[in-house]
Amino acid sequence: MSITLDLDEQTLACLPLQPGERERHMQIELACRFYSSGWLSLGQASRMAKLDRYAFGIALAERGIPRQYNIEDLDTDLHYAGGQ
């Protein structure tokens, strides 16, 4: 699926990005924003950004966005670590 955005060209020209970098950067920014708002899980947001989970974690850290980790995540990790 693709989404087309109609953005002001003069405003885009102010961004410190080359034309070919803009779309990629916006894709990652949106994924980070949707993750931080709780709209997407880590896996969903990393797929949206087209990054593996490790690289997406780095993108979150660069933006000062904390990883969401709750008690259910801990239980799942403990269950997995225990080999059960």
Give per-residue pLDDT as tens, 6-37. 878 888 778 888 878 888 999 999 999 999 99
Label residue 64 left, alpha or beta by phi (over 0 means left) and psi (-120 to 50 means alpha). left
Instruction: Report the C-alpha gap between 60 and 51 in whole angstroms.
Output: 11
Domain of 54, in residue numbers: 17-81
Q: Which residue has the tokens 């699926």?
A: 1
In-domain check, residue 1:
no
Instruction: Classify residue 42 as exposed, middle or buried by CB count within 10 Å of its CB (0-12, 13-18, 19+).
Output: middle
Percentage above 90 pLDDT, the chain: 46
Nearest to 29 by CA among 56, 68, 5: 56
Q: Identify the band that residue 84 occupies on the pLDDT scale cut at 50, 70 and 90.
A: low
Residue 10 lies in a domain: no
Tally of structural domains, the chain? 1
pTM (2 d.p.): 0.75
Average pLDDT, the chain: 88
